């Protein structure tokens, strides 16, 4: 891959890397502070990283594949693209406070192909003010970019968790992306504790090459065997290999 340009959104500096011709790239990455922040590929859907965890976690709903998903923290829509490939017709609503990265994703990652309902603004303000239909799955992937790392915003609390739960259908799932590398262990442990206090069942979805886990909480959460049934939906062997590496365990 080669760096195409660097864009400043007002909230973060994003390096745009591409493979293939600029007019018709095969692959695009957005990099923030040296880490991949969003990814798009012409033919593939999986990465071996955090977005695979989030996509797979959405499929652990006992009532069946989600019909509606709320994504907090959109960036380039990487995990939603994979989910829509597996579950055509799923209705996706997304919230992101960085209008600049959404515009870049529209320009470089064909974001409009996903036909999302996108709200620009603070994700947790949206959650507290929302009065529409409940969702089958709510995904919290809200991180803010720092100079050398990423971090959860300081506004997160027990009341935030309760507000998120209030947006779920009775058999819905709350999915949360957590960074698990150095400097993030305390946060990971705290969110695990909160999930276990609120949900009867909590599972962790991980993939070996990633430094993230997706926590999945609900009244019930399916066991990992259900994911095998989705493997054949991927036509590219590398996607199938990434899917096989996903691990789901009960906490």
- The answer to whether residue 134 scores a pLDDT higher than 70 is yes
* Torsion angle defined by CA atoms of residues 171, 172, 174 and 175, in that order, rounded to the nearest 10 degrees: 110
Note the pLDDT tens digit of each residue in 19-34: 999 989 999 999 988 8
pLDDT tens, residue by residue, 32-45: 888 888 999 999 99
Segment 175-189, tens digit of pLDDT = 999 988 776 687 888
- Name the average pLDDT for the chain: 92
Mean pLDDT of 65-75: 96
Confidence of residue 154 (pLDDT cuts 50, 70, 90): low
CA distance 4 to 138: 34
Q: Phi/psi zone of residue 24: left (φ > 0), alpha (ψ -120 to 50 degrees), beta? A: beta
Taking residues 73-79, what's their average pLDDT?
Answer: 95
Q: Is 60 exceeded by the pLDDT of residue 150?
A: no
CATH superfamily of 44-250: Vaccinia Virus protein VP39 (3.40.50.150)
Contact 179, 191 (CB under 8 A): no
Report the pLDDT value the prediction gives residue 148, as an integer from 0 to 100.
Answer: 41
**What are the structure tokens assigned to 136, written together?**
């089958």
Burial of 88 (0-12, 13-18, 19+ CB in 10 A): exposed
pLDDT digits (tens, 9 = 90+) for 87-113: 999 999 999 999 999 999 999 999 999
Residue 132 has pLDDT above 80, yes or no: yes
């Amino acid at each position: 891959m080669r760096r195409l340009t660097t864009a400043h959104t007002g909230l973060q500096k994003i390096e745009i890397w591409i493979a293939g011709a600029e007019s018709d790239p095969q692959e695009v990455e957005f990099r923030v502070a040296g880490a991949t922040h969003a990814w798009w590929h012409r033919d593939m859907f999986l990465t071996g990283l955090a977005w695979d965890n989030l996509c797979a976690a959405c499929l652990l709903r006992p009532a069946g594949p989600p019909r509606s998903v709320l994504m907090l923290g959109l960036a380039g829509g990487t995990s939603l693209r994979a989910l829509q490939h597996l579950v055509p017709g799923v209705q996706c609503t997304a919230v992101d406070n960085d209008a600049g990265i959404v515009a870049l994703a529209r320009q470089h990652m064909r974001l409009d192909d996903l036909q999302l309902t996108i709200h620009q603004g603070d994700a947790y303000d949206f959650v507290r003010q929302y009065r529409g239909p409940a969702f089958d799955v709510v995904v919290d992937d809200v991180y803010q970019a720092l100079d050398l790392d990423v971090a959860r915003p300081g506004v997160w609390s027990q009341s935030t968790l309760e507000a998120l739960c209030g947006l779920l259908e009775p058999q819905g799932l709350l999915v949360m992306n957590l960074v698990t590398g150095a400097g993030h262990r305390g946060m990971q442990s705290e969110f695990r504790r909160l999930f276990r206090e609120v949900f009867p069942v909590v599972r962790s979805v991980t993939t070996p090459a990633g430094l993230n886990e997706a926590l999945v909480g609900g009244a019930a959460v399916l066991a990992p065997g259900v994911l095998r049934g989705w493997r054949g939906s991927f036509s590219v062997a590398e996607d199938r290999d990434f899917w096989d590496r996903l691990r789901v365990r009960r906490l």
